[in-house]
Amino acid sequence: MANTRQHQLHEKKLEELMKLMPFYVVEYVDQKLGSRSPSTLLNYVHDYKLFFEWLMAEGITNAREIKDIPMSVLENLKLIEAQGFIRFLERRDIQVNKQDTKKSEKVSINRKISALRSLFKYLTTQTENEDGEPYFHRNVMLKIEVTKVKETLNARAARIATKIFHQDDDIRFLEFLKNDYEQELPADSRKVVYFKRDKERDIAILSLFLGSGIRVNELSNLRLRDMDFEMGQISVLRKGNKRDTVAVVPQAMDDVKDYLAIRNQRYNATGEDYEFVFLTKVKNEPQPLSNRTIEALVKKYTKAFMSNKSMSPHKLRHTFGTNLMEETNDIHLLMMQLGHSTTSTAALYTNPEQEKARKALKELGEKRKER
């Protein structure tokens, strides 16, 4: 299942983390690898690690290492103890940076509950011992509720709208990078040196996000063979390992061409069709850019442009989706372009009811003036 570099990396990390886990978690992961991605399972096992560490800290198990925690601890876990773990998740402080901390978001807590539910369901219904029975029957996690985060489609759409580029800000942003960003850097600094080296590459990345709406993982896994300049489109690997063809704004393809013109010489790369498009240079050797590096450069440049806030690749994707919807008002075209399978997700990029409300209220305000 690990077809992308991100999945391959997560598979290696998962393999290392499994060395710390009890046999029943190792067995669970082995069984689920065919149906769930390494990325999902890696997140689950991180959640299990946190849970097991809490069990040891609370004295619920006498085991000194996670891998030695017996399955009987899960079988006999009391409801009040399971609820105690949830309260721990809600109250703990998570370090954001050296100065700041934050509380866990409800979505994050729900994911941990879901991860534990999946493990407990496996152990109580999908396993079989020598007697043909599940490893154990009592599933305390069934008594722990997942409280869904309540938010209307209007609220989600409005929240997204406050965090993306509007009108022609995306165009101005790219112009800022091409013409003005370098002037804001300290003269003769390393920042200037690196920007000059990576300018064409970084502009191509940002332009491609804003000109196609692809996801960060889809961009980082682009190979030279995936670029079709004649047709103005690219081939990407969507979620679920589905291959798809995506149309690209012509100007974005031009920016990619400008980058490819200097790519081989500047990053010691070759033009082999299997090579990754976007590279960095490590010890004078070409290396494909990681998702984290791409996310960091998007944050850096958008913060420089907007001064007080930054954006993520996903927000650039939202910007493209909103622009496409405003231009075409075609939700099915939007779904195809962004790789959505349901109209409910695509509907986040258009909010006609909210627009109708704004116009109606404006008219009411005009009537008040007349009286």
Of 336 and 78, which is predicted with more confidence? 78
- The residues annotated with a catalytic role in the active site are 215, 239, 314, 317, 340, 349
- pLDDT digits 0-9 by tens, 97-132: 777 778 888 888 999 999 999 999 999 999 999 999
Of 164 and 303, which is predicted with more confidence? 303
C-alpha 21/C-alpha 29 separation (Å) is 10
Q: Band the pLDDT of 231: cuts 50, 70, 90.
A: very high
Q: Band the pLDDT of 348: cuts 50, 70, 90.
A: low
- pLDDT digits 0-9 by tens, 170-218: 999 999 999 999 999 998 899 999 999 999 999 999 999 999 999 999 9
- The confidence score (pLDDT) of residue 154 equals 56
Name every residue whose Cβ is closer than 8 Å to that of residue 351 and which is 6 or more positions away in sequence: 153, 154, 157, 158, 161
Q: What is the mean pLDDT of residues 235-242?
A: 87
Least confident of 24-38, 129-143, 289-303, 323-337: 323-337
- The confidence score (pLDDT) of residue 337 equals 92
Q: What is the mean pLDDT of residues 338-349?
A: 74
Look up residue 105 and give its two tokens: 């978001």
C-alpha 18/C-alpha 66 separation (Å) is 10
- The confidence score (pLDDT) of residue 368 equals 66
Looking at domain 156-355, its CATH superfamily turns out to be Intergrase catalytic core (1.10.443.10)
- The confidence score (pLDDT) of residue 196 equals 94
Look up residue 18 and give its two tokens: 């499994």
Q: Band the pLDDT of 2: cuts 50, 70, 90.
A: very low
Q: Band the pLDDT of 161: cuts 50, 70, 90.
A: low
CB 38 within 8 A of CB 1: yes
Backbone angles phi, psi at 212, to 5 degrees: -145, -25
C-alpha 175/C-alpha 170 separation (Å) is 9
- The confidence score (pLDDT) of residue 327 equals 86
Q: What is the mean pLDDT of residues 124-149?
A: 91
Residue whose tokens read 């290396």: 287
C-alpha 23/C-alpha 68 separation (Å) is 9
- The confidence score (pLDDT) of residue 362 equals 67
C-alpha 116/C-alpha 104 separation (Å) is 17
Task: Map the chain to HEC letters.
Answer: CCCCHHHHHHHHHHHHHHHHCCHHHHHHHHHHCCCCCHHHHHHHHHHHHHHHHHHHHCCCCCCCCHHHCCHHHHHCCCHHHHHHHHHHHHHCEEECCCCCEEECCHHHHHHHHHHHHHHHHHHHHCCCCCCCCCCCCCCHHHHCCCCCCCCCHHHHHHHHHCCCCCCCHHHHHHHHHHHCHHHHCCCCCHHHHHHHHHHHHHHHHHHHHHHHCCCHHHHHCCEHHHEECCCCEEEEECHHHCEEEEECCHHHHHHHHHHHHHHHHHHCCCCCCCCECCEEEECCEEEECCHHHHHHHHHHHHHHHHCCCCCCHHHHHHHHHHHHHHHHCCHHHHHHHHCCCCHHHHHHHCCHHHHHHHHHHHHHHHHHHHC
pLDDT score of 1 more than 50:
no
Look up residue 336 and give its two tokens: 């195809």
